[in-house]
Amino acid sequence: MISKSRADNGYKLWLEYNRVNNEQLAGAYRLQLRYVVFPATSDQLKAAKAELLMGLDGMLATKPSEVKDITGGQTVVIGTRQSLKSLSIAVSDSVGDEGYLIKTTLINKKQCTLIAANTDVGVLYGVFNFLKLIQTNQPISKLNIADHPRLMYRVLDHWDNLNRTVERGYAGSSIWNWHKLPDIIDQRYIDYARANASVGINGSVVNNVNADALILSPQYLLKVQALANVFRTYGIRIYLSVKFSSPVELGGLKTADPLDPAVKKWWADKADEIYSYIPDFGGFLVKANSEGQPGPQSYSRTHADGANMLADVLAPHHGIVMWRAFVYDNKVPDDRFKQAYNEFKPFDGKFKDNVIIQVKNGPIDFQPREPFHPLFGAMPNTPLMMEFQLTQEYLGFSTHLVYEAPLFAECLQSDTHKYGKGSTVARVIKGDFNKKLITGMAGVANVGADLNWCGHPFGQANWYAFGRMAWNPDQSPAVIATDWLRMTFTNNAGFVSPVKNIMLQSRENTVNYMTPLGLHHIMGVSTHYGPGPWVDNAGRPDWNATYYHKADSAGIGFDRTTFGSGALRQYAPEVKADWENLQTCPDEYLLWFHHLSWKYKMRSGRTLWDELVWHYYTGVDSVKQMGLTWDKLQGKIDAERFMEVKQLMQLQYKEAVTWRDACVLYFQTFSKMQTGAGYPKPEHPLDYYKKLKFYYVPGIGGNNYMTN
């Protein structure tokens, strides 16, 4: 049992390995490990062994001793087919390259628990999962588990700059200390890799997609190599974001035209150089022709020309190109929603085999709620990689408790209908409809140098959940939350059960007090902090909140039906029909697709205005409720994290009230309707909220100290 007063700063993440109260575990739950057989030779196997011993040491009163042979009693035998050969243990290869088996079985007529895999990294994953069983008090006496990842590339994208600022980072500076690399290997790098491996994350893009060409210089490649050496032990490949104009900026060429032979040669030489430092280098991530970044279109070439040129130079080394579909040009299209689909769909089947298109979950930009991106299902001959954002750019930064797994699941379980009923986004990205494609999922990391890594103790759950869902996109958010809570805090049901409910409800709360009923992109301009529904003077129309909500005296919402922008045509006819029809369009997506009168009658019987107000007030009330529930849990976990979360919830409440009052007052200037009896009046007039200034908001980097 953990001591309630023990201080815990959250650094250990979900790998706490707290003492298990073995005596209180009944029957099959009781742990009676006596011996471990673990012939470890490679670095990865040694890391797995070290993790196992560290975990058992923390959790069990008597650590099992390591032996060379099966001695009987409660023995755990761990290894690959190869490493266990001398013990004549056969391992079936059913779990593929990265999967594992955990099985209670007779070996040499003695009852053992076998953790086995075809590869070293499979063993590492098996060990982490065995430890998880103990951490979460699961029975371990009759095990028969076989698991493998459903996606190939499970990657964290760090938007970290070389000066250690983090674009949209809310947990302190970058964990990569570029200045001290390659000489100093911070323990953080190792713990970062352990945490990733524990949930099966096998890739890390260490620099911002708004890339600095310098990352490809020999000086920086040596630093990257040092990180790669750490990651390799934990089955993680390193990737780099590259700037498309690097041949000009770094190589002194006159052009970065992807069809120019000198440019191709520059990239080919660069790839050879990178692989000479890092033989298992993963590949490139590219943001091209988006938000001012250079790209092939700058030279009148296409996305396919650009991606394929890079794919060609990486192919001999088995590297891949992750080419982002987050594009919108400066010409201001009629509806930004439609642009990625319009630009990429024509290139279906035109990309090289080692190119994967990285598509954000929704068509605009990581909003609290978005419909699934219409590209999913629309490119049957092109691998599409999901991009989720773990860092809470539009979800209250690291002050708001928002468990994102329900958001991920909502998108993944959406039915694209592109291959008939049941062709969910999850099935599309798993390659169910085209087995030839490579597959993957990326998460924009929420990790920084803060003691607890993510700024908010519950931010860690989003990192954890991302790994679990990249491993298996069909996992349930509730199961993941329960595991995370047990591993991170305690197995005490009196804590786990109410806090799991808090987590599952948390994302809906935030939708309610920020962007209910399908509102989107109404945050403060540029910082994306706090409410800014009045923003109408940003650099370009589609950066303005007014572009998205279109509130006027007649009503509110963006008409994307056939009578409006027609964006709904990008979906399968079934989805289009469902969302175009007011009888069937879910309330959650209403204002994404329809401009409706303030007096429009909702399913609830309320007018649209009253419904909007109801959501804003309900959202705030739920945050208050969450705080009250938390307060009752004092003493069930360590005081340090308890107090930190308590204070964060108070701050979240304050900010939720600001969101509610600012938005209700602003939209009221159009609806001219009352908020109704029973709702507390805002403390300040609208003008007060409009004039709020926030200095040095994190996440925007550079010298941009103030906006809003």
CB closer to ligand GCW, 453 vs 543: 543
The maximal CA–CA distance of the chain, rounded, in angstroms, is 81
DSSP code of residue 392: -
Tell which positions 281-320 bind ligand GCW, by CB under 6 A.
Answer: 287
Q: How far is the CB of 157 from ligand GCW (least distance, A)?
A: 9
Q: How far is the CB of 705 from ligand GCW (least distance, A)?
A: 16
Strand-pair partners of 144: 103
Rounded Cα distance between 386 and 426, Å, is 9
How many helices, marked H, and strands, marked E, lie in the chain?
Answer: 19, 18
CB closer to ligand GCW, 159 vs 266: 159
Q: Given CA atoms 483, 485, 487, 488 in this order, what sign does their dihedral have?
A: positive
Task: Outline where DSSP puts E strands in 381-539.
Answer: 384-389, 440-444
CB closer to ligand GCW, 157 vs 638: 157
One of 130, 178, 326, 372 touching ligand GCW (CB under 6 A)? 326
CB closer to ligand GCW, 207 vs 424: 207
One of 100, 366, 372, 388 touching ligand GCW (CB under 6 A)? 366
Q: Is 342 in the site for ligand GCW (CB under 6 A)?
A: no
Q: How far is the CB of 307 from ligand GCW (least distance, A)?
A: 16
Rounded Cα distance between 411 and 426, Å, is 8
Ramachandran sector of residue 31 (left: φ over 0; alpha: ψ -120 to 50; beta: rest): beta
Tell which positions 158-187 bind ligand GCW, by CB under 6 A.
Answer: 159, 167-168
CB closer to ligand GCW, 326 vs 341: 326
CB closer to ligand GCW, 365 vs 644: 365
Are 76 and 36 spatial neighbours (Cβ–Cβ below 8 Å)?
A: yes
Q: How far is the CB of 285 from ligand GCW (least distance, A)?
A: 10
Q: Under rule CB under 6 A, how many of the chain's residues touch ligand GCW?
A: 10
Cβ neighbours of 174 (radius 10 Å): 24
One of 8, 51, 305, 393 touching ligand GCW (CB under 6 A)? 393
CA distances to 214, 393, 697, 699, 706 from 702, rounded to whole Å, are 17, 17, 11, 9, 11
Tell which positions 197-216 bind ligand GCW, by CB under 6 A.
Answer: 209-210
One of 186, 280, 312, 365 touching ligand GCW (CB under 6 A)? 365
Instruction: List the one residue out of 354, 346, 299 whose CA is nearest residue 325.
Output: 346
Residues annotated as part of the active site: 291, 365, 393
Q: How far is the CB of 291 from ligand GCW (least distance, A)?
A: 6
Q: Please tell me the number of Cα atoms within 13 Å of 418 on its side-chain side.
A: 24
Q: Given CA atoms 697, 699, 703, 708 in this order, what sign does their dihedral have?
A: negative
Are 396 and 385 spatial neighbours (Cβ–Cβ below 8 Å)?
A: no
Tell which positions 626-655 bind ligand GCW, by CB under 6 A.
Answer: none
Q: How far is the CB of 560 from ligand GCW (least distance, A)?
A: 20
CA distances to 169, 449, 567, 633 from 641, rounded to whole Å, are 21, 17, 45, 12
CB closer to ligand GCW, 10 vs 371: 371
Query: How many whole angstroms from its chain centre is CA 233?
Result: 23
Q: How far is the CB of 220 from ligand GCW (least distance, A)?
A: 19
CB closer to ligand GCW, 16 vs 167: 167
Rounded Cα distance between 523 and 395, Å, is 10
Q: How far is the CB of 404 from ligand GCW (least distance, A)?
A: 15
Q: How far is the CB of 8 from ligand GCW (least distance, A)?
A: 32
CB closer to ligand GCW, 527 vs 671: 527
Using CB positions, name the residue nearest to ligand GCW: 365
DSSP of 286-341: E--SSTT---GGGGT--HHHHHHHHHHHHGGGT-EEEEE-----TT--S-GGGHHH
Helix (H, G, I), strand (E, B) or coil at 670: helix
> How is the chain split among helix, strand and coil, in percent rounded to 5?
40, 15, 50
Interacting residue ranges for ligand GCW, rule: CB under 6 A: 159, 167-168, 209-210, 287, 326, 365-366, 393
